[in-house]
Structure 1
């Protein structure tokens, strides 16, 4: 199968993962990019609504992206038609993510838009959701990406 803009239909779904949330990675990410006490310190986190060390939402987004790209690169034809993204809409962190969680993702194509100015590409919008090991939604977003059109 090829994954040019024309090949994808609204309603197309895909899944990726699972992947595990590693405590050392949670701490390293937080130390560098989101140094809030509930991401860095067990005792401080225990005194918050999280109740324990929680991953940064930005780390959760980064883990999701890494797992999606690994999946795309393992799917013949997907990466070749990808042209990057224009942005994200409706990013929501639905539940905290904790070290030891196992996450998986699901994406659904919800909209296709023809580019008026760039006939060699089209725009796709995917609703992507992450779930933990208990099938609880932890993150949702709508990505706006560019895809090559069929030559």
Structure 2
């Protein structure tokens, strides 16, 4: 095994369809929501609770991109232990419910497809569905990602 791949990380050959992973959790609060929005998504429903009350969200909601960033961090920190890191090759993202101040988020991921590369035998694509869930078991994000995952080197 390469010294660059942390022990306990999974290669494409270690994965199987139906395999599941669960991350640690992260509590999001109003200052985090406003700070992210101020820098990256400065819309009223992410920055001002009073203004947000009269919107589709009916209250302060985190940017979907903030939820995506939290999802990434939770997966990187152990929720999705892939050799070589979490390297995206495309995907689809949905936000079925808003993330609110006080939500405690965690990520539940499942391997749904594994495709070894025909042209690059040292890697393949794992399709992973990651559902970000709050403390009420509401799904606030669904990310279907095609990830590049290294294969074990023979010999």
TM above 0.5, one fold? yes
Q: CA deviation at 1:49?
A: 2.5
Whole-angstrom CA distance in 1 between matches of 2:146 and 2:17: 14
Whole-angstrom CA distance in 1 between matches of 2:64 and 2:86: 25
Structure 2 spans left out of the alignment, 5+ residues: 1-7
Q: Is the aligned partner of 1:82 residue 2:85?
A: yes
SS state at 2:118 partner = coil
| Paired residues of 2:13 and 2:152 also in contact (CA < 8 A) | yes
In the TM superposition, what are the counterparts of 1:1-151 in structure 2 within 5 Å?
3-71=10-78, 78-82=81-85, 84-89=87-92, 91-151=93-153
Structure 1 spans left out of the alignment, 5+ residues: none
SS state at 2:121 partner = coil
Q: RMSD of the alignment, in Å? A: 1.6
Per-residue CA deviation, residues 16-68 of structure 1 (Å, 9 max, x unaligned), is: 12111121111111011111110011110011132211100010000110111
| Paired residues of 2:9 and 2:83 also in contact (CA < 8 A) | no
Whole-angstrom CA distance in 2 between matches of 1:132 and 1:102: 5
2:3 aligns with none
Runs of 4+ in 1 over 6 A off after TM superposition: none
TM-score (norm: length of structure 1): 0.90
In the alignment of these two chains, the number of paired residues is: 146
Whole-angstrom CA distance in 1 between matches of 2:98 and 2:18: 28
